[in-house]
Structure 1
Amino acid sequence: MSASPRISAGMTRHRSIALHSGLLLSGLLLASLAACSEAPSSEEPQAGEAGSAENALSIETAVAEAATGVPLGSVPGRITLPPEARVAVTPSFAGAAVRVYVIEGQIVARGAPLALVRAAEPISISGDLSRARSEIALAEAQAARMAQLSEEGIVAQARAQEAEARLQQARATLAEAQRLAAMAGTGPDGTMTLRAPIAGRVAHVGIETGSGVDGMEAPFVIEASGPLRIELQLPERLARQVRPGMSVEVQVPGEGTDAAPVSGQILTVAPSIDANTRSVMATATIGSAPGLVPGQNVMVVVSGGQGGEGVSVPSAAVTRIGGEEHVFVREGDSYTPRAVTVVANAAGHAVISDGLAAGEVVATSSIAELKAASAE
């Protein structure tokens, strides 16, 4: 019975020795494999290999083209209306709104009804008009009778002249009553219709059905559709360069850089610099566009007429490196980043005034990969 434990112990020692030998062999094998795998990674990539990797990128290019009338810069602006483009509609007489036909923002034609207002005064005007018509008929008959009697010598000529004067007075009264009735646009029940004096957009509705109206406040304001104005803030560096007649361009917000900008020109430039903002106020006119509304803030590109030199490249070629704008210029088989001065960016093209010459080739794709390669 005692032999069995000794055999078992011997077998246990044998297995331990075998396991230890196996672990040692495995460790040596792993060490050799690690040494083999580390040998290639210790070598640094050669410069030629990095250049070939850069050349392996599929890079699209564009040639910088000469641009005439290079913009002076981009400045902030606010869309406004010309002074004559906004018209207030007021009632001729005080009354109450019976019906309102339009809402704010609605497009109306000239003469379109805006509201129906009932007032007491138009009723009295209608009565005055009827009386004036009756009086003028009577005055005409009397004047004709007196003229005939005067010719026959029955009455003095002064009587005929008095009758003619009363006729003229009756005609003046009738004309005044007709003018008031036409101005009020009154109906037989004393209602008058307020109509749009111009075609455009209803910018303000200040009354509701049943509310009172008077001649001191305008219940409606109509804005004409047509050319718009832009109030510009010119920085001090551009104050002496911008002149009336210079061209401006506005990119319509929301239409993307490929959309054509709206063009216009400078109308006025203030003669002095604002002490608080250190800027000069200027006014420009531009054509109307669906995406431009009064009160909207936009960026305006001011061009210096026919003078100035620069180049134009696709906007995709421009990137920012270290807070400055750069393009990657092809030099031989590689692309080198170069700082440039961008003075305008619209319609998918960037206008560069300094740092790039016409005819040079720039990269327009794989810009992120080129930036990463240049930073190594």
Structure 2
Amino acid sequence: MIGSMTTHLIARLAAFAVFAALPACSAPPAQQSGDPAAEGNPTEGLAIETATAREVGNVPLGSVPGTISLPPEARVAVTAPFAGAVVRVYVIEGQQVARGEALGLVRATDPVQISGDLARARSAASLTEARAKRLSQLAEEGIIAEARADEARAEFEQARASVAQFERLAALGQVGADGTMTLRAPIAGRVAHVGIETGGGVDTLTAPFVVEGTGAYQIELQLPERLAQSVRPGMAVQLALGGDVERPVGGQIIAVAPSIDPATRSVMARASIGAAPGVIAGRNVTVTILGQGRGIAVPENAVTRIGDKDHVFVRKGKDWEKRPVTIAARGGGLAVISAGLTAGEVVAASSVAELKAMNAQ
């Protein structure tokens, strides 16, 4: 009995020894959930554009609506010096013209009469001049009284004045021998109004042409009440026109109204800008007003709202760090940061929503 049990125990020990001597099966090691080395960097699949934070001056105070207009001195009326009939019209509304370019041809009767008056005045001046010289010589010789020579000289001065008057009238409209006069553009610009047609009449009281200068423009601005105390003449402005115009157009505040409109709770202001592609009178635009402080600028789309604070994502090696920031101003596609970021740091300028969602997990 005891021998049989001993034999059975030895057999079991031998079998266990053989099993232990066998090579271990190669099974894949279990991965722990949440191990970054196992899962990889979750942002590697995102095509994240970056932007470098930079220090800027003229911090934007805000963006306001505006309307492009012409300055008062930019519109010039072209009038006819004499009434007459329109022979030809050379331009149409909207046409660009150079200074001195012909706008229309008018024939009038007055210039013909003025030409005759001028010829008679010149003849009379020649006669009175010769008489004044002759009487002056006789007065010097004592043949006649000096008073008669003085009268002759006075008559000559009157004749000279008449000649000068008729010469000015004749030159006023550059009148030709047939009484035609050419109306010309006094400035370079755009023909804003044509009020005559061939065969019609023209008088001296209405303007047959109006030319608008295109060298400078103004913008009428509506400042909200919160900006009324901050905006002053001399501050710089920028307006982005979009389309094919990539660079913003710059200008300057020239006037700010002293009171707030009680109906709109806004303050009217005016800025001057130069001519540029896309700058057209009557166009509505958004204008960014630039202050005189300094800050850190990043693309506006790099800033996102998380909770009740603005944040940016700052690159730290291969990772992105969520960073709360204080926004001083927005405008012109930029956000100016007054606290939370330093110049030279790199922020995410795209895929911000994805980074925000990953950070919330």
TM-score grouping bracket, smaller chain normalisation = 0.7 to 0.9
Tell me which residue corresponds to 2:25.
none
**1:145-224, aligned counterparts within 5 Å?**
145-224=134-213
Tell me which residue corresponds to 2:98.
109
Equivalent position to 1:366, from 348, 351, 354: 351
TM-score (norm: length of structure 1)? 0.76
Shift of 1:368: 5.3
Structure with the largest fraction of helix: 1
How far apart in 2 are the matches of 1:127 and 1:320?
A: 84
AA in 1 matched with 2:234: G
How far apart in 1 are the matches of 2:279 and 2:310?
A: 29
Shift of 1:86: 2.0
1:260 aligns with 2:244: no
How far apart in 1 are the matches of 2:74 and 2:113?
A: 35
Write the deviation string for residues 189-214 of structure 1: whole angstroms up to 9, x where unpaired. 11111112222222222212122111
How far apart in 2 are the matches of 1:50 and 1:125?
A: 100
The worse-fitting range, judged by mean Cα deviation, of 335-344 and 241-250 is 335-344
Kindly indicate whether the alpha-carbon contact (under 8 Å) linking 2:83 and 2:202 is maintained by their aligned counterparts in 1: yes
**1:264-343, aligned counterparts within 5 Å?**
264-305=251-292, 307=293, 309-318=294-303, 327-330=312-315, 333-334=319-320, 336=322, 341=327, 343=329
How far apart in 2 are the matches of 1:300 and 1:335?
A: 33
**Is there any run of 5+ residues in structure 2 with no aligned partner, and where?**
1-32
Kindly indicate whether the alpha-carbon contact (under 8 Å) linking 2:60 and 2:331 is maintained by their aligned counterparts in 1: no
Kindly indicate whether the alpha-carbon contact (under 8 Å) linking 1:67 and 1:351 is maintained by their aligned counterparts in 2: no
How far apart in 2 are the matches of 1:144 and 1:183?
A: 32
How far apart in 2 are the matches of 1:156 and 1:288?
A: 70
Shift of 1:292: 0.5
Change (3 A) 1:62 1:160: closer
Write the deviation string for residues 220-249 of structure 1: whole angstroms up to 9, x where unpaired. 122223232221111100000111111111
Q: Over aligned residue pairs, what C-alpha RMSD do you find?
A: 3.0
Equivalent position to 2:334, from 344, 350, 353: 350
AA in 2 matched with 1:77: G
How far apart in 2 are the matches of 1:220 and 1:361?
A: 58
Q: SS of the counterpart of 2:341?
A: coil
How far apart in 1 are the matches of 2:41 and 2:141?
A: 124
Write the deviation string for residues 14-60 of structure 1: whole angstroms up to 9, x where unpaired. xxxxxxxxxxxxxxxxxxxxxxxxxxxxxxx9797998444442423
Change (3 A) 1:209 1:341: farther
Write the deviation string for residues 317-368 of structure 1: whole angstroms up to 9, x where unpaired. 356899998644557835649687483343xx51234675225542223345
Change (3 A) 1:151 1:62: closer
Shift of 1:172: 0.8
How far apart in 2 are the matches of 1:109 and 1:201?
A: 9
Identity among equivalent pairs (%): 59
Kindly indicate whether the alpha-carbon contact (under 8 Å) linking 2:309 and 2:324 is maintained by their aligned counterparts in 1: no
How far apart in 2 are the matches of 1:112 and 1:321?
A: 62
Kindly indicate whether the alpha-carbon contact (under 8 Å) linking 2:239 and 2:250 is maintained by their aligned counterparts in 1: yes
Q: SS of the counterpart of 1:77?
A: strand
Q: SS of the counterpart of 1:97?
A: strand
AA in 1 matched with 2:227: L
How far apart in 2 are the matches of 1:268 and 1:196?
A: 30
1:132 aligns with 2:132: no
Shift of 1:124: 1.0
How many residues align? The count is: 326
Kindly indicate whether the alpha-carbon contact (under 8 Å) linking 2:300 and 2:330 is maintained by their aligned counterparts in 1: no
How far apart in 2 are the matches of 1:73 and 1:100?
A: 48
Change (3 A) 1:353 1:260: same
Equivalent position to 2:69, from 52, 72, 80: 80
Write the deviation string for residues 151-173 of structure 1: whole angstroms up to 9, x where unpaired. 33333322222221111111111
Tell me which residue corresponds to 1:19.
none
Shift of 1:103: 2.0
How far apart in 2 are the matches of 1:373 and 1:114?
A: 68
AA in 1 matched with 2:341: A
